[in-house]
A and B are shown apart, each in its own frame.
Chain A
Amino acid sequence: MKSLLTAVDVLLVFLALMVMSLGLAREWSYWWSKKESRSAGNWAGLPAYILQQREILRKPAVGIAHLCVFWGVVLPMLVIIAAQFGFVLPVGPAHTLHLLQDIFGLFMLLGTLYLLRRRLGLSSGQGPQRTVLLMGILLIILITGFLAEGARLEILYPGEFSWFSPVGWVFAQALPASPLFMQGMIRLHFLAVCVLIAITPFSFLRHAVAAPLNVFFRKQGPRAALRELSLETGDIGAKSVRNLSWKQLLDAEACVACGRCEENCPASISGKLLSPRKVMQQIYSQAKTFGGAQTESFGQSGPPLLADAISPEEFWACTSCMACVAQCPVCAEPLDKIIDLRRYQVMGEGQLPVEARGMIRDLDIYGDVQGKGAAHREDWAMHRAVPVLGPEAAETDILLWVGCAGSYHPRNQQTSRAMVKILLTAGVRFAILGKAERCCGDPARRLGDEALFQRLAQQNIEQFNRYSAHTVVTLCPHCLNTLKNEYPALGCQLTVVHATEYVMGLLDAGRLQLKYPLAKKLAVHDACYLGRYNGVYKAPRQLCQNVPGLMLSELTRSRESSFCCGGGGGRMWLHEHGGRNINVVRAEEIAENHVEIIGTSCPYCLVMLDDGVKSLELEKTPVVSDIIDIVADALG
């Protein structure tokens, strides 16, 4: 192959590349200027992410179409670039490559048509219409490419079947053997490619650069971690888009508004106003409009509030279940932005929803969500052999973190006692913090009161340090997540495991014998903070399988795509406005799956699901039970 490019063409390509890079520099200048010095990216997984596109393939039809378009662009591009540098293959392999290119082109044509049809078929609310223009250009490139190829075949091999270019051959049948036509098509093809390159920063195609970049800079620590605030410097959440971090802005840049977050968001599904996609898109458009502007240009009132674009009703509807984060194909996280909005609303405006005020006040004064006071924290263990951590119980294997629910809620107190029974049977040396324990701070943090969270956390960390606690077992997944993933930022490194994991370890070590059968059909409801946040899916299921007679089945939505009970993110204390109740949606799914027991491992899920299944008024209401209770009962 000889070089196809003339000087004018080189100039055009150069121009297109210039426009692209200048455009990207301009569009990205705002978040790039906020970027901390040398934030470490991560190369691991990036090539696989780009080449395999597993995240996108979670929705098979769209994923395959996307993969076709991707490879349909990349392969010919590579071949053409290689050709420019005088890279020549022998005829055999060259023809094979040609065939491959031809087939990829066909797949790409099919993929593009599928995506275009899908886009046109959707209403504007469901997806970005702006991709249509891009799809049009892609179609022009494809069709002119095939037309040029057809004309070339007709000129070079008239009347012959060219096995290395079957699609081109089909086109050739209807085309004249005119060099002029071929040249015209090549010019058009080339020009469209240049346009495509040039409009990358300003169009939907932006994601081709932004998404890999976002994956490269993805969070390295715990999943869906919130932004760490430094309250002393007056950083109290997202008042306007200018309070967001560069990573949060890059997230918005990378968002392609595909809507998978919305399809999996319990608030959206149950008919609330909240749409994680809208949150991302509003942040994107505000960052574009106001991000780079001079502070003085806003006058007295400052830059427009984020809450003007995303209403409080929306961001208070979030259950922080992390489904949006788990489902996002470009590693964007609507969740931390929603919490940042709440933070400003609470700490900057004092606008906490009225239902939650009592609870936050109780946390403030009494250190627990029920307002019963620390004096009553070990009442559940009264007259029982439960050692309290102190000078007498210095030598312990584990510290059992009971949590507010386990300490005060009558239903969860049973679970605490069941856990004690298991630990005593297994001969584990354990202790509780007793009256020194405070709420872990999760409800305060998710409801935006970061100052309160930090105070409670400091009180607890003091106790951990005082007794040099090393291994903590928690009964509640929310406590688990806070102690394990959020306390390290405050300077407290602990080994934290959830009760289900720990008990499974005891079973594996042969320290427990489950002998009493329970001949029931059980399904495990994965708590968001145990499953998606901390990746514990196996232990609860294995525990249930170890109970003789128990038949384990799966709910329709389980594991990574499990559906929230509606109680997380402080929503346990809020009313549900609009739409249906999330716990009822989940309860209906449970009812459809005809299970007798729902095994869960979270006090919130327990309450929410129990309320849900009871409100359905079924003939046979499924029993909602904590897995620890089930195991303790099987111990005899």
Chain B
Amino acid sequence: MKIIVCIKQICHTYARTGQNPESRYLNPEDAIYRINPYDEAALELALRFRDQTGPVDIILLTLGPLIAESELRRCLAAGADQLCRIVLSGIATENDPLLQPDPWTKADSLARAVTELGGGLVLCGKESLDRGSGQVGALLAHLLKMPCVSAITDLSAGTAADHIRVQRSAGRGVREVIRCPLPAVLSADMGADLRLPVFARRQWALSQPIQNLTSPVIKRPAQVVTARLSPPRPRPKIVPVPDSRLPAYDRVSQLLAGSKMEKKGELLTGSPESQVDGIINYLKANGFLESHND
């Protein structure tokens, strides 16, 4: 049997937005390219399944430009056998590698690749950390005409050869065990941490070729369309409160200029003596206290 694990490369960012509209207000150095952690969990479940049942081929399937190649190879090193990539044609990813088709198109490309590779079990994350539509798994099952279990937390061999046992959380601490016929599409919830690849496997994974599958984007009539996209807002500029002692004209022009003058505030630390001295110095410096230098 072949297990196909769909893994998505995402641009994850912990950063706050920057100032440059070119980069959609994301500073490029703040972006972290990694594999969607839900997909990593799916891979770990596949690896555990193999540990339990014996030799099966685990094929990694990814879509679009290689934005996180080292992380893809890390997944390969963790125990997968082969890494395939669907090259999207018909979508201009050359200018912006982060451009993504809609979930329907993605599921369509993946479904054709799964048929081509002959997968008996398809695993993916229940959603991605960047778009989070949560649709690809279900749409994939629909296109492949396979049963689908979403947000699974455990996977093991069933009593019969053509069945598997799947565990998922049913809310309020209840776990449900589902008997699912093969072939099937399963989407995984977070929980299983991807194992640490050993060094020799890492070296091996670096030398492995990435097999390209070409997939023309077929425009299926979509029932839902994106009406509008709003880019993130730029980081707000700090415009300090204008100095109230200035005349109105100056204050307005200060506001319009987005003055760099920052409001100063300092927290005094240290011993009580030093704090008192600090307060007195401040009051003197700002003319609230007159200094008596007799």
Contact = CB atoms under 8 A, between A and B. Distances in A.
Interface stretch (B27-35, B52-60, B220-228): B27-35
A236 B15 CA distance: 35
A222 interface: no
A360 B13 CA distance: 19
B199 A347 contact: yes
Interface string B255-294: 0000000100000011101100110000000000000000
Nearest to A451: B199
A347 B270 contact: no
Contact of A516 (B197, B199, B262, B273): B273
A231 B199 contact: yes
Interface in B1-36: 13-16, 27, 29-30, 32, 34
A366 B32 contact: yes
B202 interface: yes
Interface in B155-199: 193, 195-199
A348 B269 CA distance: 50
Interface string A331-363: 000000000000000111111100001101100
A51 interface: no
A372 B12 CA distance: 12
Nearest to B195: A350
Contact of B198 (A348, A357, A361, A635): A348
A560 to B, nearest CB: 33
Nearest to B281: A636
Contacts of A635: 270
B14 A373 contact: yes
Contacts of A236: 199-200
Given A451-B202, A516-B270, A365 B34 contact: yes
B278 to A, nearest CB: 7
B270 A375 contact: no
B: interface residue count bin: 20 to 34
B274 to A, nearest CB: 4
A336 B273 CA distance: 49
A352 B29 CA distance: 30
B15 A376 contact: yes
B271 A518 contact: yes
Contacts of A365: 32, 34, 71
A121 interface: no
A435 interface: yes
Contacts of B271: 516-518, 633-634
Given A516-B271, A633-B271, A633-B274, A372 B14 contact: yes
A358 B16 CA distance: 23
Contact of B196 (A346, A435, A633, A636): A346
A: interface residue count bin: 20 to 34
Contacts of B199: 231, 236, 347-348, 451
Contacts of A347: 198-199
Contacts of B269: 632-633
Nearest to B74: A364
Contacts of A60: none
B202 A375 contact: no
Contacts of A633: 269-271, 274
Contacts of B198: 347-350
A234 interface: yes
Contacts, number: 72
Contacts of B16: 375
B273 A366 contact: no
Contacts of A636: 270, 274, 277-278
Max count, chain A CB within 10 A of own CB: residue among B14, B193, B202, B262:
B14
Interface in B192-212: 193, 195-200, 202
A383 interface: yes
A374 interface: yes
Nearest to B273: A516
Contacts of A375: 13-16, 27, 29-30
Contacts of A358: 193
Interface string A371-404: 0111110000001000000000000000000000
Contacts of A346: 196
Contacts of B196: 346, 350-352, 357, 360
B252 to A, nearest CB: 25
B270 A357 contact: no
Given A348-B199, A375-B14, A375-B16, A383 B273 contact: no
Interface in A622-636: 632-636
A45 B202 CA distance: 45
A517 B30 contact: no
A632 B200 CA distance: 49
A516 B274 CA distance: 6
Nearest to A348: B198
Interface in B98-121: none
A348 B203 CA distance: 12
Max count, chain A CB within 10 A of own CB: residue among B30, B34, B198, B278:
B198
A514 to B, nearest CB: 11
Contact of B15 (A231, A349, A373, A516): A373
Given A350-B196, A374-B29, A375-B30, A517 B15 contact: no
Contacts of A357: 193, 196
A23 B207 CA distance: 48
Nearest to B194: A361
Contacts of A632: 269-270
Contacts of A351: 196
Max count, chain B CB within 10 A of own CB: residue among A346, A347, A375:
A375
Contact of A517 (B13, B34, B262, B273): B273
A234 B202 CA distance: 11
A578 B292 CA distance: 66
A358 B40 CA distance: 14
A366 B14 contact: yes
A633 B273 CA distance: 11
Nearest to B199: A347
Contact of B200 (A234, A374, A435): A234
Contacts of B34: 365
Max count, chain A CB within 10 A of own CB: residue among B193, B196, B262:
B196
A551 to B, nearest CB: 15
Interface string A61-72: 000000000000
A129 to B, nearest CB: 41
Interface in A228-260: 231, 234, 236
Nearest to B196: A350
Contacts of B278: 636
Nearest to B16: A375
Contact of A373 (B30, B195, B273): B30
Nearest to B263: A383
Interface string B60-86: 000000000001000000000000000
A435 B34 CA distance: 19
30 contacts: A236-B199, A236-B200, A347-B199, A348-B198, A348-B200, A350-B197, A350-B198, A357-B193, A357-B196, A360-B196, A361-B193, A365-B34, A365-B71, A366-B14, A373-B15, A373-B30, A374-B29, A375-B15, A375-B27, A375-B29, A376-B15, A435-B29, A435-B30, A451-B199, A516-B270, A516-B277, A632-B270, A633-B269, A634-B271, A635-B270
CB-CB nearest 5 A-B residue pairs: A375-B15, A633-B270, A373-B14, A375-B30, A347-B199
Given A515-B274, A634-B274, 17 more contacts: A347-B199, A352-B196, A357-B196, A365-B32, A373-B13, A373-B32, A375-B13, A375-B15, A435-B29, A451-B199, A516-B273, A632-B270, A633-B269, A634-B270, A634-B271, A635-B270, A636-B277
Interface of A: 231, 234, 236, 346-352, 357-358, 360-361, 365-366, 372-376, 383, 435, 451, 515-518, 632-636
Interface of B: 13-16, 27, 29-30, 32, 34, 71, 193, 195-200, 202, 262, 269-271, 273-274, 277-278
